[in-house]
Structure 1
Amino acid sequence: MSLQSLVEQTVQGLGLDLVEIERSAGGLLRITIDLPWMPEHAALPEQFVTIEDCEKVTRQLQYALEVDGIDYNRLEVSSPGIDRLLRHGNDFLRFVGEEVDITLKEPIGPNESSIAANRKKFRGTLEQTDSGWQIVWSDAPPVKPGQRVSKKKAPPPLQALGFVLDEVREARLAPVVDFKGRRKPAAANPAQEQPRPENDAQDTE
């Protein structure tokens, strides 16, 4: 079984959602998890991954990885950060209206707009459309902290790019920090990091 399939099966078996798998220098295997989200739950108060959730996944993964002979030195299980990966349709629905970074698989190609034909990366507001999705942005320079903006000044023109999920190589929440408070209450980012067990894979205490 592939690492992706093994981790996804283990995480989902515990009632959680796999967000991302990363391998880093020094043999670190980093797993990011979240609570499942459904559109019908959008109006409910948002719940977040707890340290207990991370510990539970860590224990189960240590056993599963050992059984399948997956090589790693350290295992870290945590909740998503401010640059959260968007993996599937529910993620896009969940974060409509948020600022995101989109990387396309292929450049957009010839077009009638002012967007460069070889451009693949975009940052803007995620919106849902009748045909799929679009990202909306302005190429005007951002307003600097403390800078005054005249109310009489016309707002900068907006640009929009429509896309479908199959065209996206990677999508993430833009790591924008607002010291007056982020767009939504930020989740805590508990992490449970454990070295690879050297003997009994089930003994994680």
Structure 2
Amino acid sequence: MVDTVKNIVQPIVDEFQFELVDVEFVKEGKNWFLRTYIDKPGGIDIEECALVSEKISERMDQIDPDPIPQAYFLEVSSPGAERPLKKEADYQNAIGSYINISLYEPVEGQKVYEGTLKDLTEGTLTLTIRIKTREKEIEFDRKKIAKARLAIKF
């Protein structure tokens, strides 16, 4: 269903020369939410989100049969400071940035890591992690990364 919605939303986002960062369809409590994250260089503002939301809503109402049969709330927003890394370009743009990764299985006893993205190949991702007063590099198999996002360093 998310892929179908992405195909519907992508031309709308392209029309405004924005980037489609992500689309998710999630249930929270008893309500369903269709969340669309958009961005552009310099960031996206609330008026731009409202404009895209209106266009998506109009387009979804025109499609028969409805691609999402149940009731849902449509949300369009910026990905925020902790933007998810989904596409290869996202990862490439994040080299040198502080990121958070979640793994499918533990590496060195942990499933979540934060550090600076040092290197990236087709099969691996290397993070520089600070442990107390020293730095350590850890290489991760990209197939074992469940989620990755930019992170705020405190």
Q: TM-score range by the shorter chain?
A: 0.7 to 0.9
Offset of 1:61 from its aligned partner? 2.2
**Paired residues of 1:126 and 1:134 also in contact (CA < 8 A):** yes
CA distance in structure 2 between the aligned counterparts of 1:73 and 1:165, rounded to whole angstroms: 33
- Corresponding residue for residue 34 of structure 1: 39
Flag the structure with larger Rg: 1
Report the equivalent of 1:173. 150
Partner of 2:110, secondary structure, is coil
Seen in structure 2, the aligned counterparts of structure 1 residues 129 and 85 have a Cα distance that, compared at 3 Å, is closer
Q: Decide whether aligned partners of structure 1 residues 82 and 47 sit closer, same or farther in structure 2, where only a CA change above 3 A counts.
A: closer
Does 2:26 correspond to 1:18? no
Superposed CA deviations along residues 144-184 of structure 1, whole A, max 9, x for unmatched, are xxxxxxxxxxxx2211111243221000111346xxxxxxx
Higher relative contact order (CA 8 A, sep 6+): 1
The answer to whether the 8 A contact 2:125-2:141 is kept is yes
**Matched residues in 2 for 1:96 and 1:8: separation?**
26
Q: Which amino acid aligns with 2:115?
A: G
Structure 2 residue identity aligned to 1:98: S
Deviation at residue 52 of structure 1 after TM alignment? 4.3
Query: Does the aligned pair in 1 maintain the 2:23–2:34 contact within 8 Å?
Result: no
The match for 2:134 is 157
Gaps of 5+ in 2: none
Shift of 1:29: 2.8
**CA drift at 1:60:** 2.9
Residue-pair matches, total: 142
Cα separation, partners in 2 of 1:69 and 1:10, compared to 1, 3 Å: closer
The answer on whether the counterparts of 1:33 and 1:78 sit within 8 Å (CA) in structure 2 is yes
Look up the SS of the partner of 2:90 in the other structure.
Answer: helix
Q: Distance in 1 between matches of 2:148 and 2:129?
A: 15
1:34/1:72 CA distance change after superposition, 3 Å: farther
TM-score normalised per structure 1: 0.59
2:114 maps to which of 113, 120, 123? 123
1:51 to 37, 46, 53: 46
| Runs ≥4 residues deviating over 3 A | 24-28, 50-53, 63-66, 129-132
Q: Which has the higher strand share?
A: 2
| Unmatched segments (≥5 aa) in structure 1 | 36-45, 109-115, 141-155, 178-205
Contact 2:49 2:77 in 1 (8 A): yes
Q: Distance in 1 between matches of 2:104 and 2:59?
A: 33
- The 8 Å contact of residues 104 and 121 in structure 1, kept in 2 or not, is answered as yes
C-alpha RMSD of matched pairs (Å): 2.4
Q: Give the % identical residues.
A: 26
Contact 1:7 1:61 in 2 (8 A): no
> Structure 2 vs 1, CA of residues 65 and 132 (structure 1 numbering), >3 Å: closer, same or farther?
same
